[in-house]
Amino acid sequence: MIYEMRTYTLRPTRMPDWLALYKNHALAVQQEYLGNLVGFFTTEFGTANQVVHIWAYESLDDRAERRARMAADPRWAEFGAKNKELDAVVELKSTILKPTDFSPLA
């Protein structure tokens, strides 16, 4: 099992708009294709205006195949267009995490 942690840094004051857009236009599509949402968070302390979500995959190949199928869905393209129009995302960072043998998520 591997985990992908995606961290989005948003423009100040845009968090509520972006979260509403994501919840209404992207979440269901991602859950359908990516499947295993581990958690979805906003930062309370540390770097401000960040959203972090973590997805679990069987392997890097599983991740690539799932994301490719999602990218072909017109609903995902529609979210992408709305996301671009909102212009809330300043930076996206994607990190692949591999749990240790003693991790509860191993």
Hey, what domains does the chain have and what are their CATH numbers? Answer: 2-97 (3.30.70.100)
Distance (Å) of CA 92 to CA 6, 10, 24, 102, 106: 7, 9, 20, 29, 26
Q: Residue 64: helix, strand or coil by DSSP? A: helix
Please list the pLDDT of the chain residue by residue as tens digits (106 residues).
999 999 999 999 999 999 999 999 999 999 999 989 999 999 999 999 999 999 999 999 999 999 999 999 999 999 999 999 999 999 999 999 999 999 998 8
pTM score of the predicted model: 0.91
Residue 104 pLDDT: 93
